[in-house]
Structure 1
Amino acid sequence: MTFAARAGRQPRRARAALLAAGALVAVAACASLGGGGDALVLGLAVPLTDGKGAPDVYGVRSRMGAELAVEELNAAGAFGGRTLALRVVDDKGSPTTALAAADSLVNDPRVLAVVGHVYSGATIAAAQKYDGSLPAVATSATSPEISKLGGWIFRVASSDSANAVALAGAAHGMGRRVAVLYSNDDYGQGLARNFASALRAAGGAVAAMDPFLEDTPDFRPYLLRMKARGIDLVFVAGLQEPAARAITQAQQVGLAARFLGGDGIEGLAGMGARYDGTAVGVLFHGQMSDSARAFVARYRARYKEDPDSQSALAYDAVRLLAGALRAGHRDPAAIRQWLEGVGAERGSPAFEGVAGRVAFDQNGDPVNKRFTMGVIRGGGIVLPEAAR
């Protein structure tokens, strides 16, 4: 996922989270949850606000998932009389702010490891601070560049180099003339490049490829060219707000093409019926497994709404790191070494998370992590197997 969701219309299913989190955002820069002086402390680096000070739905929901994990672990007495706590820092989805946030966590001797960051650009920027000091488990950061960041960065989301294969496979069966709109940042560039390569390998081709900025207001020049070229499928490598504008304007100019996107456009499912029929690849779905369904029930009981990929991945990242703590590893270097062995032949067992199984390769990427294709319908994302 890319830098940050900008201010603007949020999906209906996210509004409750933003309202409930309003008070939390105000104190998030140095907040802690769940511990006293003997607490085991994890950093939580998420974009709680955007560059204009408005709540960022991706970060808010990531915090909600992380806090639910901490509450459950502490209630179960998972740490032999000690408690788990979060030190929350707001990276604002900005590489510059992420660098400062990472520096503050590295220089806090209480912090043993980090959950975060959420966005690819923030993760890439912060990695230089964590290297050699703190292990960090990114949540929904999917840029292929993260695989090159060294031995202190791990992630629970699959790389877009892998996700693009599933997305290209779906595209190959949906359209004959495919165009790509991509956000001109780490997430969008990487996803678009890997999608185009995977589509060629599947026997297809990209007929047009155009970049956009997150706040691009008017996609109609792109869309009119696509209409003239007979484009019947548009792949969006970006976030939900610009995707929403592009889909709305496509309908206005009479471009009769389907739209497809990755996890960045997941939130379109709660933004109205006009987005029905949009295909989307997601990192988590509440019907993907029994453990996912059980997590949805617990999350709904706690927050009175359903979780999304950000909630689930942050929840998994906390519980993954808790595994190292429960195994007795209480310093950053030992935790990093334990993470390297997750799922390895002579390491610890693979981690079974609510968003799927995690076993790390030599780059800190999860091996064969599940990436699920669905279709937006009726205010939700319907999996193909659910429709049969």
Structure 2
Amino acid sequence: MTHPVSGSPLGRAPRAAVHALLCGACLLAGCGRAGGNALVLGLAIPLTDGGGKPDVYGVRSRMGAELAVMEINAGGGIGGDSLRLRVVDDHGDPGTAPTVADSLVADPQVLAVVGHVYSGTTLKAAERYQGHLAALATSATSPEISRLGDWIYRMAGSDSANAVALARAARGMGRRIGVLYSNDDYGQGLARNFTSALRQGGVEVLTADPFLDATPDFRPYLRRMKARGVDLVFVAGLQDPAARAITQAREAGLQARFLGGDGIEGLAEMGSGFDGTTVGVLFHPQMSDSARAFTARFRARFGQNPDSQAALAYDAVRLMARALRDGARSPEAVRAYLQTVGRSGGSDAFEGAAGTVKFDSNGDPVDKRFTLGVIGGGGIRLPEGAR
């Protein structure tokens, strides 16, 4: 994903949980019984947008990270030392991300970084981490991240791989396809790879239109799609603009189905008007036994189901903690450890709530699970074979 939408709705995160997580954003103390020294990870996430409003993607990421820290410290920490997070708010702004990265690099206590969340912030922060701190991005999916160097890793698969699954689904849903894409790193990359995968399957896109997250009116695009007979619209963007586009499509009389990537999974909790939308997700509470177990613990802590952001941040903290537990106690040692995860002669693949992680030479997870489901009934339903 890329940068957040100004004024993202908080329907996916209870107000009390949001307030608790936003308080004291500079440092999250470890919870539980662990003592000893503090082992510190940076957590670079968008807690608030440029206008100071809470960012739902960042809030959910912090929930997942907080749960991981709580469980680790409650279990005795890491060799008797407590795990702590230094939380910094990048506002989802690529212009702010380098400054945030510099602050973590300058802190001698920080051993590595979990984050960033969005592709745009990850791309801009990466050069500041290079040679100093290993950064493990959570849901950043731009293909460009694969070329950022050997200090940058990520938990989510690249859009170059995810788009293949989305294109395969699209070919089974419609033959006259239109694309709406956010005019940023995430939207451009996902749309480009989706269109390429469609073309390889013998299907051409009829229309492709860029938008800004603040675009209020999609009807000119939608009326053109209607005139061209579009029967499936692929949205490469985030949930708020996708919600406007889907709502306005009905007003414009466009009776097309909608499909999107992980950026629109939040539509599931924005009302029944989005039922029937197909969405690719990086995590689902019912996708595996480990996902179900994590979901139960997350619900016990926060009173709600986790989403992809929470699960990926949880897994990233747990993987970093495993590196520290296995003796990687310096930034250089953490980077060297991540290079070996799941590789021949290295450490074991990491089994997380959102699937198995093993890194290739670019720091990308190999064959990371990407699941398609259909929004309905306030959630996302998976096909029987995907559970």
> Would you say same fold, with TM above 0.5?
yes
1:269 alignment partner in structure 2: 268
SS in 2 for 1:45: strand
Structure 1 residue 156 displacement after superposition: 0.5
Counterpart in the other structure of 1:255: 254
Partner Cα distance (1:109, 1:323) in 2: 20
CA displacement, residues 184-237 of structure 1 (integer Å, 9 cap, x when unaligned):
000000000000001111221111100000100000000000000000000000
Q: Quick one: distance in 1 between partners of 2:306 and 2:219?
A: 33
> How far apart are the structure 2 equivalents of 1:80 and 1:347?
21
- Aligned partner of residue 33 in structure 1, secondary structure: coil
1:21 aligns with 2:15: no
In structure 2, list runs of 5 or more residues that go unmatched: none
1:28-43 aligned within 5 A: 28=25, 30-34=26-30, 38-43=37-42
Aligned to 1:58: 57
The CA distance in 2 between the partners of 1:310 and 1:77, in whole Å, is 26
Whether 2:139 is the aligned partner of 1:140: answer yes
> Quick one: which amino acid aligns to residue 34 of structure 1?
G
TM-score when normalising by structure 1: 0.97
Give the SS at the match of 2:28. Answer: strand
**Secondary structure of the corresponding residue to residue 344 of structure 1:** coil
Question: Which amino acid is the alignment partner of residue 194 of structure 1?
Answer: N
Q: Does the 8 Å CA contact 1:34/1:83 hold for their aligned counterparts? A: yes
Cα distance change of structure 1 residues 348 and 15 upon mapping to structure 2, 3 Å threshold: closer
Is this contact kept in 2: 1:78–1:326, CA < 8 A? no
Kindly indicate whether the alpha-carbon contact (under 8 Å) linking 1:5 and 1:57 is maintained by their aligned counterparts in 2. no
Contact kept, 8 Å, 1:5 with 1:58, in 2: the verdict is no
Following TM superposition, by how much is the alpha carbon of 1:140 offset from its aligned partner in structure 2, in angstroms?
0.4
Shift of 1:98: 1.1
SS at match of 1:96: coil
Tell me the secondary structure at the aligned position of residue 199 of structure 2.
helix
Q: Does 1:233 align with 2:229?
A: no
Q: Determine the C-alpha separation between the residues in 1 that align with 2:317 and 2:102.
A: 20
3-state SS, counterpart of residue 340 of structure 1? helix
Distance 2:75 2:85 in 1: 17
- For 1:387 and 1:60, the matched residues in 2 are separated by 28
The code of the aligned residue for 2:41 comes to L
Q: Aligned-pair distance for 1:4?
A: 1.2
Deviations 1:157-183 (A, max 9, x none): 000000000000000000010000000
The answer to whether the aligner puts 1:171 opposite 2:167 as a matched pair is: no
Could you give the per-residue CA deviations for residues 263-314 of structure 1, whole angstroms, max 9, x where no partner exists?
A: 0000000001110000000000011000000000000000001100000000
Residues in 2 aligned to 1:288 and 1:227: alpha-carbon distance in whole angstroms? 36
Give the SS at the match of 2:206: strand
Q: Is the 8 A contact 2:9 2:56 kept in 1?
A: no
Give the distance between the partners of 1:33 and 1:302, measured in 2 at CA. Answer: 17
Amino acid across the alignment from 1:85: R
Aligned: 1:369 with 2:365: no
1:6 aligns to what?
6
Partner of 1:312: 311
Trace 1:1-388 onto structure 2 (pairs within 5 A).
Answer: 1-10=1-10, 12=11, 14-16=12-14, 18-28=15-25, 30-34=26-30, 38-385=37-384
CA shift, 1:79, in A, is 1.2
Count the aligned residue pairs. Answer: 384
**Secondary structure of 1:128's aligned partner:** helix
Are the aligned partners of 2:8 and 2:56 in contact in 1 as well (CA < 8 Å)?
A: no
Preserved contact between residue 6 and residue 241 of structure 1 (Cα < 8 Å): no
Q: Is the 8 A contact 2:40 2:86 kept in 1?
A: yes
Q: What is the identity, as a one-letter code, of the residue corresponding to 2:3?
A: F
Output the CA distance in 1 between the equivalents of 2:224 and 2:377. 30
TM-score, L = length of structure 2: 0.97
Q: What is the CA distance between 1:384 and its match in structure 2?
A: 1.1
Distance of aligned partners of 1:242 and 1:102 in 2 relative to their CA distance in 1, 3 Å threshold = same
Partner secondary structure for residue 339 of structure 1: helix
Report the residue type matching 1:292 in the other structure: A
Q: Deviations over 1:90-118 (max 9, x none)?
A: 00000111111110000000000000000
CA contact 1:69–1:318 (8 Å) conserved in 2: yes
Q: What is the root-mean-square deviation of aligned Cα atoms in Å?
A: 1.4
User: In structure 2, what is the Cα distance between the partners aligned to 1:378 and 1:20?
Assistant: 23
Q: Which secondary structure state, in structure 1, belongs to the residue aligned with residue 63 of structure 2?
A: helix
Q: In 2, distance between residues paired with 1:182 and 1:328?
A: 44
- Give 5+ residue unaligned stretches, structure 1: none
* Contact 2:339 2:359 (C-alpha < 8 Å) held by counterparts: yes
Give 4+ residue runs of structure 1 displaced > 6 Å after superposition: none
Change (3 A) 1:226 1:156: same
CA distance in 2, matches of 1:297, 1:267: 20
Whole-angstrom CA distance in 2 between matches of 1:78 and 1:43: 17
Identity, in percent, stands at: 70
User: Using a 3 Å threshold, how does the CA distance of structure 1 residues 352 and 105 change in structure 2: closer, same or farther?
Assistant: same
